[in-house]
């Protein structure tokens, strides 16, 4: 199966050592991070995710590991 662009962004961010996790509450997403990230992951997020539309940012966030219980 072919990866979507948002999946590729999330995978690359995590490959670079990113620690952000998504919290989903009442269908709203927010990003949580409890530790410092490698500079490469932080720069990747700022340059490639924060520049996207809010709807596309949310799609990328939903590809990150979640802190919610299954």
Sole residue written with tokens 């620690």: 19
For residue 60, which of 18, 9, 4 has the smallest C-alpha distance?
9
Domain assignment of residue 39, yes or no:
yes
Q: Write out the residue range of the structural domain in which residue 11 sits.
A: 5-62
Structure confidence at residue 13 as a pLDDT band (50, 70, 90): very high
For residue 31, which of 15, 11, 44, 49 has the smallest C-alpha distance?
49
Domain assignment of residue 68, yes or no:
no
pLDDT (tens digit per residue) in 19-64: 999 999 888 888 888 889 999 999 999 999 999 999 999 999 999 9
* Number of structural domains the chain divides into: 1
Domain assignment of residue 53, yes or no:
yes
Distance CA 30, CA 58 (A): 9
Domain assignment of residue 48, yes or no:
yes
At CA 16, angle to CA 70 and CA 39, rounded to 5?
A: 115
């Amino acid at each position: 199966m072919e990866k979507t662009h948002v999946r590729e962004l999330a995978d690359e961010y995590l490959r670079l050592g990113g620690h952000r996790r998504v919290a989903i509450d009442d269908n709203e997403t927010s990003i949580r991070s409890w530790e410092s990230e490698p500079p490469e992951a932080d720069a990747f997020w700022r340059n490639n995710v924060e520049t996207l539309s809010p709807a596309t940012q949310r799609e990328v966030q939903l590809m990150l590991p979640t802190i919610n219980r299954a």
